[in-house]
Structures are given as structure tokens and as C-alpha cells.
Amino acid sequence: MLAFFKPRSDKSQPSDASQSPAPAEGTKTQERPKGLGARLKEGLARTRAQLGQRLSGLFSSHGRIDDDLYEELETILLSSDVGVDATQYLLDDLRKRVKREGLSDAAQLQGALQQSLLELLAPLEEPLSVGPQCPFVIMLVGVNGSGKTTTIGKLAKYFQSQGKSVLLAAGDTFRAAAREQLMAWGERNNVAVITQEGGDSAAVIFDAIQAARARGVDVVLADTAGRLPTQLHLMEEIKKVKRVINKADPSAPHEVLLVLDANTGQNGLAQVRSFDDALQVTGLVLTKLDGTAKGGVIAAIAKLRRIPVRFVGVGETMDDLRPFTAREFVEALFE
Ligand SMILES: Nc1nc2c(ncn2[C@@H]2O[C@H](COP(=O)(O)OP(=O)(O)OP(=O)(O)O)[C@@H](O)[C@H]2O)c(=O)[nH]1
Ligand SMILES: [Mg+2]
């Protein structure tokens, strides 16, 4: 039985900073502006402590560039989840830069390494742009608890702020709580959610696409149940979901987003491989960067497969999602 959840329109948004009293004149405040890169910088604090600050410390204390320095650099990169391949790449690239630019002081390496990292991450910067297809169908996949449903809530707001209409499909039919969780996000964003009691995932999303087409909705965000790549029957099921979406609209899905919890570090690489092999992932969302020191994993991902990182998640609220830009990320790592 198909249920169409229509949110109330009188829901007032809770506001945060706007209601705080302004600090008295001359009072120093620790509050940072929440716009632009500020949230990202805050969010990356732990990775910055693990990676950026250790590197800065190394470069500023070491004096001349020698083999010891490269060895310590390698240790820091490897212990920051950058991974073997990306670490090797960065060290080789750095040595070339040192030679080419005739660098001799360790202090000069910081800028050079930042440049190497920037060039490694730059190919991942390819923002998600909603095409002319109506509806533009985005399916979100990933392991249990990686942040799929939360990311849908954030994306609903993101697309609405671009003037697009959004419909959510409660394609996680494994857990009753999953449907409620998505409906809560629907209500917060004042967008409709298509659900089905006891239905299967593919059928719910199929219905959502038809409903969106009938209503002229721009974007369908399809939630799916979490699954491990080792659960082969569930990997087969998600492939079927994709095929059924394709039956509802031969050009869909227009985006297959793999949601990765940055905390999983190197295990995230196996997830990228498996989900990409199964579904041809078109974009990544790296979540929970705010709670982890393992943000260096993004370099490992860049070396593994060239799948764009569409967004990064730096918190649990609707505003904690940012389109990924390599420069902003690298700057937030070192500043
Ligand atoms: N700190 C932080 N927490 C996040 C972020 N994204 C999601 N979470 C939290 O991670 C937990 C799991 O998020 P969900 O969105 O339910 O994850 P899911 O992938 O839908 O989980 P399943 O449906 O069970 O597979 C929740 O407590 C979220 O609030 C993030 O960027 N930062
Ligand atoms: Mg979920």
C-alpha cells in the first residue's frame, strides 16, 4: 500500500545563531562565522591535528631536507590514513618538486606538499549538477550507518536552496525506523516522502519516480538500506533496485552516490571498490569528517578510483554538508 506523506507547511524552523544575544561591545567571542569554509575548517580540526599540524611541526623543526625527513613524512602520512599508494605518490612527487625547484630547507616543503596534495585531489572536484532530466534521480547507497539518510536530509535543503523541488523515496524498507527517520527529514525540509508499508525497496523508488514525474518534481532522492559489500545477496538486491529505477526512467538513475563514513579510514577503500563494481558509482559523499582524524583517507580514495567527491559532511545538522573543493579542503587541513 502506497503512502504519500505530505508535510505540514506551518512548521517553523528552529533557529540557532540568529537567536543568540549579540556579544557586548568589546567582548571577545570564540564564535566563528559559520558560512563558507568555516564549518569545514571546524569539522576538519581532528584531521588537521593528526596530519596538517604534525607535518607543519616536522617541516619547521627539521632544518635541511634529508632522508630522515622523508622517512618521518612517510610515517605521518601512513598513520593518517593516506594509504600506501597515495603516500608513495606524494613522496615521489615531492622529491621531484624539490629537485625541480632546487629546495633545500625543510621549511620550504610545506608549500610543496600542499601543492602535491592539491594536484592529487583536484580530479575529485566535480560538483554535482542536476541535469535537465525531470525528475533527476539520485540513489544513495552505502554500508550501515554511513550517513545516507542524514545526507538525504541535507541534500533536500541544498537542492531547495537552489530553487529545485524535491521528493524523497523511503527505499530503506528493512527497518521501520528508517522510514520514520526519513519522514522526519521530509518534515524538517517541508518535502513529501513516498513510502510503502511492507513494500520492497525497488517498488517504493519506482513509485516515487512516477509520482515525481506526475507532479513535475525536479529531484528524487532515493534512500536505500545499509549493506556490507560482503553480504552478496544484499549487493544483488541493490543492483536490482538500480535496474528497476532504470525501468521507471531509461536515463535513470542520474547519480549513484556512495556515502562513506570517514571514520572507516582504509576500510572505505574496499567499500568504494565493491559498490563501484556493483553499481558504477558516479559520486561520493564523505561524511563525519567532524568526528575523525582519518580525513586523510580522501587522498587514498583519489589514488584508488577517480570518482568525484560530490560533498563532504561535517556534522549532523542540515547545514553541515559542503560541495567538495580540493583547495578549500587542503587549506582547511593546514590552516
Ligand atoms: N558527526 C556527524 N554525524 C553524522 C554525519 N552524517 C551522519 N551522521 C550521524 O551518523 C548516524 C547515522 O546516520 P544515518 O543517516 O542514519 O546513516 P544511514 O547510512 O542512513 O544508516 P542506515 O540506514 O542504518 O544504514 C546518525 O547519528 C547521524 O546523525 C556527519 O557528517 N557528521
Ligand atoms: Mg538510513
Minimum-distance ligand to the CA of 44? 1
CA of 149 to the centre of ligand 1 (A): 7
Rounded distance from Cα 285 to ligand 2 centre (Å): 14
Q: Which of 241, 304, 246 is nearest to 278 (CA)?
A: 241
> What mean pLDDT value characterizes the chain?
89
Q: Which residues line ligand 1 (CB under 6 A)?
A: 142, 144-150, 172, 178, 226, 259, 287-288, 290-291, 313-316, 320
Residue having the nearest C-alpha atom to atom 13 of ligand 1:
147
E strand or H helix that includes residue 158: helix 148-161
Q: What is the model's pTM?
A: 0.90
- Each residue's pLDDT tens digit, 34-69: 555 788 899 899 999 999 999 999 999 988 999 999
* Separation between Cα atoms, residue 317 and residue 311, nearest integer Å: 14
For residue 42, the one-letter residue type is E
pLDDT per residue as tens digits for the range 147-200:
999 999 999 999 999 999 999 999 999 887 999 999 999 999 999 999 988 789
Atom of ligand 1 nearest to the CA of 315: 32
The CB density around residue 315, as the number of other CB atoms within 10 Å, is: 18
Please tell me what DSSP assigns to residue 143.
Answer: S
Q: Is the pLDDT of residue 21 over 50?
A: no
pLDDT (tens digit per residue) in 106-154? 999 999 999 999 999 999 999 999 989 999 999 999 999 999 999 999 9
Per residue in 62-101, pLDDT (tens digit) is 889 999 999 999 999 999 999 999 999 999 999 999 999 9
For ligand 1, the distance from its centroid to the CA atom of residue 169, given in whole angstroms, is 17
Q: Which residue's C-alpha comes closest to atom 7 of ligand 1?
A: 147
Contacts of 60 (CB under 8 A, 6+ apart): 106, 107, 110
Nearest residue (by CA) to ligand 1, atom 17, is 147
